[in-house]
């Protein structure tokens, strides 16, 4: 019962190296993909029904007031599409087709969260991962400081993800209040205006994603 009560304080379903696709991150070892994380949330909701004495309306009301945070996609590029020695996706899909495949899966996963009770959901874009040190160390291109091939592929995904959020809020998902967090733009702004930027940290109640929380 204590464990169930602690769930009311917040639950983190995120898993390091996880992605929208099940095979993403296999090169780094065991992890729980977004499909697995959604399944874990479903199990948690079932367990939480005991706290509400089996009253589905009370449980639904509680879940609708929670804030959910989902940040997926970066590993589907870093530890999948742009790792051709380990994965075949870059030969199976064009960047546009791969983004479409990811969006199709992610839309289904987010819709499942909604069907389980999630209403207030923050969905993050993928950041400019073509500019991270790991990629810069591997990239042998022009004078650009970033791997723009990766960033262009990310923009394809982010553009479609924003459309998904807009459709959800336009009535596709009843009662949905999704927020698109443009971490790509904010990261670029931070890089270009570092001295004038400040980062505000916020805590969210329920988390899915591809990174484990960092200790402070």
Question: Which tokens is 188 given?
Answer: 């670029």
What pLDDT tens digit does each residue of the chain (216 aa) get?
Answer: 667 788 888 999 999 999 999 999 999 999 999 999 999 999 999 999 989 988 999 999 999 999 999 999 999 999 999 999 999 999 999 999 999 999 999 999 999 999 999 999 999 999 999 988 888 777 665 556 788 999 999 999 999 999 999 999 999 999 999 999 998 777 777 666 655 545 444 444 455 566 544 444
Q: What tokens appear for 154 in the block?
A: 């990310």
Segment 184-205, tens digit of pLDDT: 777 777 666 655 545 444 444 4
Provide the β-strand partners of residue 206.
11, 68
Q: Using CA atoms in the order 168, 169, 173, 179, what is the torsion angle rounded to 10 degrees?
A: 70
Tens-digit pLDDT profile for residues 165-183: 999 999 999 999 999 999 8
Please give the model's pTM, rounded to 2 decimal places: 0.86
Domains and CATH numbers, the chain: 13-209 (3.40.50)
Pairwise CA distance, residues 102 & 76, whole Å: 8
- Spatial neighbors of 52 by CB under 8 A, at least 6 apart, are 58, 59, 62
Q: Where do runs of H (alpha helix) occur along 49-115?
A: 56-65, 74-76, 89-92, 95-115
């Amino acid at each position: 019962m204590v464990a169930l009560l602690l769930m009311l304080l917040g639950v983190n379903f995120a898993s390091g190296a996880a992605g929208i696709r099940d095979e993403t991150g296999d090169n780094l070892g065991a992890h729980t993909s977004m499909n697995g994380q959604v399944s874990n949330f479903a199990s948690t909701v079932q367990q939480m029904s005991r706290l509400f004495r089996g009253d589905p309306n009370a449980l639904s009301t509680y879940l609708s007031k929670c804030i959910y945070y989902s940040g997926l996609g970066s590993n589907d590029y870093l530890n999948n599409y742009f790792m051709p020695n380990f994965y075949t996706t870059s030969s199976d899909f064009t960047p546009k087709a791969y983004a479409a495949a990811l969006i199709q899966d992610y839309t289904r996963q987010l819709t499942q969260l909604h069907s389980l009770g999630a209403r207030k959901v923050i969905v993050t874009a993928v950041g400019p991962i073509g500019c991270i040190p790991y990629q810069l160390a591997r990239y042998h291109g022009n004078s650009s400081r970033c791997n723009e091939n990766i960033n262009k592929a990310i923009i394809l995904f982010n553009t479609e993800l924003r459309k998904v959020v807009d459709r959800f809020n336009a009535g596709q998902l009843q009662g949905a209040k999704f927020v698109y967090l443009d971490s790509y733009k904010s990261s670029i702004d931070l890089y270009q205006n570092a001295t004038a930027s400040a980062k505000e940290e916020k805590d969210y109640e329920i988390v899915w994603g591809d990174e484990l929380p960092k200790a402070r």
